[in-house]
Structures are given as C-alpha cells and as structure tokens.
A and B are shown apart, each in its own frame.
Chain A
Amino acid sequence: MTTTWKNPVSAFDPEKPVEEVVTNDYLSPQSQWDATRSYNVPTPPVGRLRYYHKWAGHGDKLWHRLRYWPTRRRVLDISGGYNSKTLRRQKTIEDKRPIWWILSLLALAIAPFFIPENQQNALLTAGAVFGIYAAINLCWMLIIGTAGIYSLATYAVVGAAAYGSAYLSIHMGLPWWAMPLVGSVIGLVFGVIIAIPATRLEGFYYALLTLGLVELCRVYVIQSREFGSATGGLYGADSYIPQDWPQHAQLLLGYYAGLVLMILGLFLFRFVNGKRLGRVLRMAPEKREAFAEATGVNYRAARIQVFLISSLALGFIGGFYSAHFRGAAPSLFSFDTMLLSLAMLVIGGLGRAEGAVLGTLIVVFIDRVLVDWGPMRFVLIGTLMLLVVLFLRGGLFGIKEQFRAWRDKKKSENRSSRAEKGGEMLPEEATETENKDIIYFRRFDKMQRDFLKKLITPEIIEEHRKRPLGQHSEALERVLTYFRRQPQNDKYAITVIEPFKSYRLVALSGTRGVAPRLVEDKIYGSPDEAYHALFLRRVQDLLEA
C-alpha cells in the first residue's frame, strides 16, 4: 500500500542525493465522490412540504376586505405576498373552511329537490330531525368542548323545556311562536339548577350526577299523570306546521325550519366559542386551571356563563322540538338518546362545530334512514363510536391533524435512521436556510473530510515528523492544505515563549483583541517538534469529527 515519493525539488540541488520518502499510494479524490453518490440506503422522502394553492395577483384589493357584522372578521383569511423565487405577486387562502361550510349548507338547502320521489317522506323527516339534533349537539359541544363541563344532562334541559312548553300549549293555549321562548325560560331555570353542583364538583363526579338527573327526569315523566304516563308522551301542542297543508309541503317546511335552527345553533357556537368566552376558556384547559387563575382568568365564571347560555339555547330548542313534533315523548330522557347524541359528538370530533354537524348527519342517517336494519343499526353506530374512540384522537375531523403528526413521527424516525455525523445539514434545517450555498459547502466539506481521513496513515505522519516544512508528498500536501484553509477561530497556533528553546501550542480566539487560549501544558524544545505536535492535534480532530 505504500510507494516512494521522490522530492522533485531535489533536482535543484544535484550535490545532495534525491530525497525519497515512503508515502501512501495515490488515491483519487473521485473515489470519495463515487462512494458518496453510490450511497444507497433506502431514503424515504423527508421534508416539510405543505401545499397551498397560490392565486395570482394581490395589491389594492387585499386592503379592501369584506368584514361581517358584528365581528371584525374577514369572510376569507387571505394573505398576500411575493414568491421568493420569481418575485411574482401571489395570494394564499389560509383557511378554506368557510368555503366548505357554504358549499355544504347550500347542498343541504337544495337537497330536497334531488331526493327520489319514493324516499321523500323518510329523508325529509330525517332531515328535520338532523337539524334539531345538530342544534342540540352544537349547544352540548359548547358545554363539553368549550366550557369543559362533562354534563350529560343536556337532554334533561331539552326534555324539560319540551314538556313544559307542550304542557302550557295544551292547557293554556300557548301559540307555537311562544313555545321556544317559554322553553328558553324553562331551560335557563333548569340550567341554573344544574349549574349549582357544577361549581363544586369536578369532571366525572359531575358527569355521573347529571346522568342520574336524566334518569330522575325520565322516571318522573313516566310516572306522572299530567305528563302523559298513560299515553306514552304529551301530545296535542300547537305547531308551526299548518295541518291543512299537503303532506309534502309540511315536510318541506319542517325540513327548512330544522335547517334554520341548525344555522342558528352554528351562529351561537361561533359567537360563544370564537369570541371572548371561548378565548378565555381556551386559556384554561383541563389540569391547567391553576395557571389560568394565576394569570387572572376567571374561568369558573366563564364556564358557568357558557353553561347558562347553552341551557337557554337548549331550552329554545326544546320548545321548538315540541312545536315541531306537536308534543314530547319520554324517549327524550332515555339513556339511548343520550348515548346516540354522545356518539354524534364523538364521531365528528369533540370541540368543533363541523364535528358536531357531520357526526349528527352520519348517526341520524344510520338511525332514521336504515330503519330496516333493526337493532343492527345501533350496533353499527356503537361500533363506529368504539373504533373512533380507540383509534382517533379528535374524531373524523381530527384525522388530518393526527395523520400529519403520524407522518412527522415517521419522517423523523427515517431521518434519525439515516442521519450521518459530520455537520451536514438536517433536511428541515436545509429547507429553511436562506443561503443555499451553506448547504452545498457543508456537503462538500464533509466529503472532503471523509476523503482526507483515508489519507491519514503512519507513513505521512512519519514524513511530517521528519520534515514539517517544505515540499511534501501528494497525500500529506492535501491534508496540510486542508488544515491551513480552516477558519481562524479555534485554529491551532504556536506561541514562542523563548526563541529556539521553548514553544507552546495555543488556539486562536478568532476575535480581534481576544488573546489565544493555551491548549496544553507541554513545552516543546524546537519549532519542528511544535509543528509536528500541532499537526498531530489537527489530525486527531479530523479523525474524531
């Protein structure tokens, strides 16, 4: 593996013998390049690419934003900017959810005209039920998601309002338009009663207690004679649907009324969850209440406020319910109704309006449209709910987020499995570095060091020891050139303590005015010794890096 190298400079001094040194065989720098390029560990794609469609142009238009009352929000969150490569102007829609909302609501609005004739009845009835349940679920989502109160007594409030308004309508002739209003009052009263224990109890104690309250309501209604224990419900209340209309028109009216109720529920959700109360409560998530309190957030008051607002709305929906169905049934209080409603929330995803609506759509579809399946449809709903709880963190609408988290995890696993030592940039660092030269320089530097490491042999160290200065063999010259080219900070140097007698190694600070630091205690008797010690130190650093 070794060859001899004749010093070409010897020819200038023919009186001396030609200097010959044992050194390495020639190793082409190309070999390192080839080795790097042929590096073929499986390399899955790594990086953080997120695709947003870029729309052309921005400018004056961007400043004239349409804002809707009573908030200062824009309809679409559009940001303008410049493409960093082409410097063309561009717009990005940051949040496309409003577009999806409008499209889906439009689809719901025109859906009745596309239903086949033979399914009109079933689907329109299911649609009205969907609207009512979606509104209930939105209010419940406010209680569970925004306020973080695990109340299962939602249907106690709805049912109480429904029964109360139906009772008043039957016995005192309350007109249909007053029923939701009376219902809201009943709901508020019930909300206040239910909220009292919520100030003291936490989490599951409260959930179990409210479960008991619903059961209490159910047993009371079943046993009570005024509330129709004999007829299985309280029927005969006034309704907003005129009975002399043809059946199809009645169904259509019910469907659109349900839809309007759902949209009202959505607005309520938006104004509670997206404004001050929601912000305050997002500051105080579970187990971080103490911190929120310390920063001056009165989360208890906010929670109770949200609870009362939702109870009021639930009461309104209860009144609407009895005006829609012309009465109320004890099934409102049953454990299964609560379970199905919880399934709706969980399948869609806790804490988001779109989750409540989509979950309601799915569950109501299975429950009301696939009636032929019998009990199997509840098994289907339960299985769906179980699968969602076991595998998804945030319901169906959390899939995107969870998938991204999972993909990032996989990426970082891949990255760590193929990360090499030696100062190359990690892929994420690389995509975020403005100056791309740095990336290529570091890659080149790493290849060069890998190549130089192969050149370090006992032969060239011996050659350097014999003659630190002057002409060297090709291999040693490459190594030395690399060492000399290194930046000034922490570069090794020799300091003279006493000329021709004692020398020491120092490392430069790299900063003007800051003295070099001593590297070791050893004192060398001659410059050549010091040169060689310095060389050895650099070699060691090279091999270790």
Chain B
Amino acid sequence: MNWSFVIANAITLACIYGTLAIGISITWSSLGLINMAYGFIFALSGYGAWLAAQYISANGFVVMGAGILTGAIGGMLVCALAFIPIHDKPNFTVRGMIATLAVSLVGNQALLWYFGPRAKSLPPLFGSSQTSIFGVVMTADKIGAVVSSVVLLSAVLLWMRSSRRGLEIRAMMMNPHAAAIVGIGVRRTGFYVMALTGGLAGLASVLLSQTYYVGPFSGITPMVKGLSVALCGGLGSVFGAVIAAALLGINEAMTSVVFGGQYVLITQFALIILILLIRPRGIAGILDKAREA
C-alpha cells in the first residue's frame, strides 16, 4: 500500500467533497431546501464542460469556466422549478425535497436520452507533470484540484463575507423571516444562492472528472458523499463541513491502508453514525431548533 498515494488521494477527494458539501450546506441553511438535484447539476455541468472542450477549446480555463457556468445555470433551473413555486406553501421542506428529487429524475433521464449512456472524458486541465511535496508524489491534476477548489472556495467565502449579495445570503442563513422583513427578496436571493451553489457543483464536477468520467448518473455518488459530509459537519455550517471533509478524508485514507478499499464506505458510515449519535446536528451544528422554513 502506497501511503503517499492514499494521502494525496484523500486530500483531493476531501477538497472536492468539501466543495459539494459547502454548496449543499449553504442551500439548506439559506433556502431551507435540501437540494437532491445536486447530482443532476453535477452531471449537467460535466456535460457542459465536455461540450465546451469539444466545440470551443480544450483550454483548462475555458473548460472549467464552462462547467461552473453550466452548473450555475442548472442551479437556477432547479430554483425556478422547485423553489420559486412552493417556497411559501405549506409543508415546503418535504415538498421541496421531493420536487428536487423529481427534477433530478427528469434531468438525469433527459441527459441519458440526449447524450446516450456512454461516458465522456474531459481533457486533462492541469497537464500531466508530477512534483514531490514533502516526499508525497502529487500529480498535476491533484494539485490543480486542491489549489483550484481551495482558491475558488476562499473566493466564494470572501465574497459572502464582504459583498452586498453575500450579506443578503448570510442574513437569509441567520433568519429568513427577519431577512424578508428588512427587505431582502427571498426569491431573488434564492436565485443567487442556487447559482452560487450550482457553480460550486460545476467546479467539483470538472475537478472530479479528472479522475472519473462524465456520465448521466455520475452525480449520484458524489451527491451522497457531499450530503454525508454536510450532514456530518452540521447542515448550514461552512466551518463544520470543512472539518467533516477533512475527517472523512483521513478516515478514507486510513481505512484503505489498514483494512482495504472495499471497507471505506462501511467505516465512513460507521463514523458518520457515531458522530451523529454524539452530536445529532453534526459537528458544528447547534442542538437547537432546526431551521423552520
């Protein structure tokens, strides 16, 4: 078992799943929507990036930009279909979740119908060089994935801290009713949030496609992993998601070294269940009233 390879892999995956988890977390805490269509947005932006690579240019920035842009558009689509019509209706949380599941069903099947079941692969974005950092051999795509996800996530978090729109989103996260009272448009902010989180999904999709392929159902497993990370960190907490991503990454690396690769999911869920039994609202979640949408 190659330690350095496992650690590099774990860090990369942790960064990518952390990106997804933060998107899910922000959506839940600001809109009260569990976005089950995240897998669909993920697959859609993979196809967007693939189309861009096919027809525009295989340049890394173009492909990544196209992926992020498609993800943002997909997020806005989901918002228009599943958030805008029912966000003020009774029983929104359940209905919203089911609506996003329906969007995911329709979207995935439409992707299958349009692009066919064959998986597509994206061109390598970061070249194929290798460097050694502290004795750990990192390939360029892993370094690129880690660096770009960290940079873009920091940019997003910085934007949320310092800009007017970010202030609105944070206000919605704290208290949606009070935010609506002081004049923050719920629907408009919904579009910002969904575009932002969709963009994050697009980024994760492009980065993960360096290792895996783009397919109509390729988004399901990353979504489940992202959900578990978000859940484990505490829905609504960015900080918790980061800690949880790191924890699960370490767990994944340790398990594959100690027990073997096929036990990763088992130990992962055992860990998640353990964490949730100790802290039912996740690592950084406050055991208080849940967000009432």
Interface string of B269-284 (1 = CB under 8 A from A): 1001100110011100
Look across to chain B and name the residue whose beta carbon is closest to the beta carbon of A394: B91
Q: Are A212 and B227 in contact (CB under 8 A)?
A: yes
Look across to chain A and name the residue whose beta carbon is closest to the beta carbon of B278: A200
Q: Are B281 and A205 in contact (CB under 8 A)?
A: yes
Q: Are B280 and A211 in contact (CB under 8 A)?
A: no
Interface string of A176-214 (1 = CB under 8 A from B): 000000000000000000001100111111011101110
For residue B165, CB closer than 8 A to chain A, the reply is no
For residue B184, CB closer than 8 A to chain A, the reply is no
For residue B86, CB closer than 8 A to chain A, the reply is yes
For residue B85, CB closer than 8 A to chain A, the reply is yes
For residue A342, CB closer than 8 A to chain B, the reply is yes
Min CB gap A421→B, angstroms: 34
Contact of A204 among B82, B101, B224, B235 (CB under 8 A): B235
Please indicate the chain A residues that have their CB under 8 angstroms from the CB of B34 in the complex: 204, 207-208
Q: Are B99 and A215 in contact (CB under 8 A)?
A: no
- Of the stretches B102-110, B173-181, B198-206, the one at the interface is B102-110
- Cα distance A212–B101 when bound, in Å? 15
Q: Are A339 and B262 in contact (CB under 8 A)?
A: no
List residues 232-269 of chain B with CB under 8 A from any CB of chain A: 235, 262, 265-266, 269
Look across to chain B and name the residue whose beta carbon is closest to the beta carbon of A223: B262
Please indicate the chain B residues that have their CB under 8 angstroms from the CB of A383 in the complex: 102, 106
Please indicate the chain B residues that have their CB under 8 angstroms from the CB of A122 in the complex: none
Q: Are A209 and B106 in contact (CB under 8 A)?
A: no
List residues 279-293 of chain B with CB under 8 A from any CB of chain A: 280-282, 290
Tell me the dominant secondary structure on chain B's binding face. helix
Min CB gap B248→A, angstroms: 11
For residue B95, CB closer than 8 A to chain A, the reply is yes
Min CB gap B267→A, angstroms: 10
- Cα distance A342–B98 when bound, in Å? 8
- Cα distance A376–B113 when bound, in Å? 7
Please indicate the chain B residues that have their CB under 8 angstroms from the CB of A208 in the complex: 34, 227-228, 230-231
Given A209-B231, A211-B227, A215-B224, is A386 in contact with B106 using a C-beta cutoff of 8 Å? Answer: yes
How many residues belonging to B are interface residues under a CB distance threshold of 8 Å? Answer: 45
Q: Are A335 and B86 in contact (CB under 8 A)?
A: no
Q: Are A393 and B90 in contact (CB under 8 A)?
A: yes
Given A200-B276, A209-B231, A379-B110, is A385 in contact with B102 using a C-beta cutoff of 8 Å? Answer: yes
Q: Are B290 and A203 in contact (CB under 8 A)?
A: yes
For residue A487, CB closer than 8 A to chain B, the reply is no
For residue A382, CB closer than 8 A to chain B, the reply is yes
Look across to chain A and name the residue whose beta carbon is closest to the beta carbon of B90: A393
Look across to chain B and name the residue whose beta carbon is closest to the beta carbon of A336: B105
Interface string of A373-390 (1 = CB under 8 A from B): 011101101110110011
Given A215-B221, A374-B113, is A382 in contact with B280 using a C-beta cutoff of 8 Å? Answer: no
Q: Are A375 and B110 in contact (CB under 8 A)?
A: yes
Interface centre among B81, B93, B105, B280 (most CB of A within 10 A): B105
Interface string of B65-93 (1 = CB under 8 A from A): 00000000000000001100110001101
Please indicate the chain A residues that have their CB under 8 angstroms from the CB of B82 in the complex: 386
Interface string of A253-291 (1 = CB under 8 A from B): 000000000000000000000000000000000000000
Min CB gap B278→A, angstroms: 9
- Cα distance A213–B239 when bound, in Å? 25
A201-B276, A215-B221, A382-B105 provided; 16 other pairs, C-beta below 8 A?
A197-B276, A200-B276, A205-B231, A209-B231, A209-B273, A215-B220, A339-B105, A379-B109, A382-B102, A382-B103, A383-B102, A385-B101, A385-B105, A386-B99, A386-B102, A389-B102
